Amino acid sequence: PAGAAAFCIDRFEGALEVQVGASWVPRTPFGPLSTAEVVRAVPADGVVPQAYISGDEATAACLASGKRLCSAAEWLAACRGPANTVWPYGASYVAGACNDTYPGGHPVVDYFGTNQGIWNMTSMNDHGINQQPDTVDPGGANAACVSAWGAFDLHGNLHEWVDDAAGTFRGGFFADASLNGAGCTYATTAHPMSYHDYSTGFRCCQ
């Protein structure tokens, strides 16, 4: 991109492989990581990307694959394309292009059937939340949700951590991709890099 150093960005959000003996096997994308798991990042091409991941864990997973977490500037350049559009696919919002229109009320409330006593790390990391219908889509499933550079799902699907020590994830997710900015400009800055819940994902750059 003009004005930025050359870089590569994964075309898809990140999935994880976990080390089992001498082999690497796909990890379930549902539920948070345990400290015992040794993981590395792989592009979620046609598979459900990893949610429930912190910025610190995403950083480590990218490094384990010889990559790194994208900077905010890189992520924005990849999303907005050479024409600097607001949405990855263009200048105007297109309903249904990306996974950003969860039809229920709130996915956590829908899962637990109540809005009482659920706004805590244990409940918001329950593996069942993202196994509900109309939550996370496999990488690339939304064919129109692609940037000019060929990167899918930069808007909606899962929030994506970027390399910011203060803690920032970008792009919105399946149940909210508008409250904190339109399209590529969406950014959440309310959490530390150690935070994770059902909505937090990532992708790698190099």
pLDDT band of residue 140 (cuts 50, 70, 90) is: very high
Rounded Cα–Cα distance for residues 137 and 45 (Å): 11
CB neighbours of residue 128 within 10 Å: 11
Report pLDDT for 4: 58
Nearest to 11 by CA among 51, 73, 67: 67
pLDDT band of residue 1 (cuts 50, 70, 90) is: very low
pLDDT band of residue 2 (cuts 50, 70, 90) is: very low
- Read off the pLDDT of residues 60-106 as tens digits, 9 standing for 90 and up: 999 999 999 999 999 999 999 999 999 999 999 999 999 999 998 99
DSSP string, 8-58: -B-SS-EEEEEEETTEEEEPPSSSPPPTT--EEEEE-SSSPPP-S--HHHH
Q: What's the pTM value of the predicted model, to 2 decimals? A: 0.95
The residue ranges of DSSP E strands in 50-128, in sequence order, are: 68-69
- Read off the pLDDT of residues 82-95 as tens digits, 9 standing for 90 and up: 999 999 999 999 99
- Read off the pLDDT of residues 150-204 as tens digits, 9 standing for 90 and up: 999 999 999 999 999 999 999 999 999 999 999 999 999 999 999 999 999 999 9
